Amino acid sequence: MDQPEPNFLKEFLSTISREILYLTPKLLIAILMIVAAFIIVRFVGSGVRKLLSMADVDGMI
């Protein structure tokens, strides 16, 4: 009764590690893309805000 469980656990862990090894590059790329998008949005947002304040349309913000 106790024998199949460690086997199952080993199989499960090996499957998970394989999945992690397979997915890690995609995950890293996704994280990098999200961070880059966040930085771009912040940069563009601050740039737009500066342009708007330079154009003196503070009432619209």
pLDDT digits (tens, 9 = 90+) for 14-24: 999 998 888 88
> Angle at Cα 57 formed by Cα 59 and Cα 53, nearest 5°?
115
d(CA 34, CA 17): 24
Contact 58, 52 (CB under 8 A): yes
> Residue 35 falls within a domain, yes or no?
no
pLDDT band at 59 (very low <50, low <70, confident <90, very high): low
Please indicate, yes or no, if residue 9 is contained in any of the structural domains: yes
Whether 18 is covered by a domain: the verdict is yes
Question: Mean per-residue pLDDT for 38-58?
Answer: 81
Domain assignment present for 57: no
Domain of 22 in residue numbering reads as: 1-29
- What do you get for the CA distance between the two ends of the chain, in Å? 69
Considering its fold, how many domains does the chain have in total?
A: 1
25 belongs to a structural domain: yes
